[in-house]
Structure 1
Amino acid sequence: MSAKTLTVQQRKSIFHALVDVQDARTVTIADSKKEIASRYHITKEQVELIEREGLAKDWPPLA
């Protein structure tokens, strides 16, 4: 799945899932990104881009 084909809502959902996994503190940050990439069939780099976008735009659950 290309990052360009993901809607804002999809990226927000992925960001939320990433925050949930990281907040659970059951895996490392790197492993959480791998888990989300696998779950959503995207690359780890796409997860990192979504993470940066979510942090920059203060997406929930951060808001």
Structure 2
Amino acid sequence: MSAKPDEISVEQRQIIFKALVEAQDGGLSVTASRTAVARQFSVTEDQVKQIEREGSDNQWPPL
């Protein structure tokens, strides 16, 4: 799914964000969680960072 962040559907970005939050809640560091989620969803860590910001800004679940 190597796409630009704006080419990833909102639904998929929300799924990625949820996985990121759950990884961090599960004890992974921010850096490790970004790496793991990027691999899991075949996106770049930069895309994960952008999705992380978007999710935080918009209070996406599970926040």
TM-score by length of 2: 0.92
Normalising by the residue count of structure 1, what TM-score does the alignment of the two structures yield? 0.92
Specify the alignment match of 2:25 in structure 1: 23
Which deviations, in whole Å up to 9, do the C-alpha atoms of 1:30-63 show, x marking residues without a partner? 010000000000000000000000000000001x
Poorly superposed stretches of 4+, deviation over 6 Å: none
Aligned pairs, number? 61
Aligned-pair RMSD on alpha carbons? 0.7
CA distance in 2 between partners of 1:17 and 1:6 (Å): 15
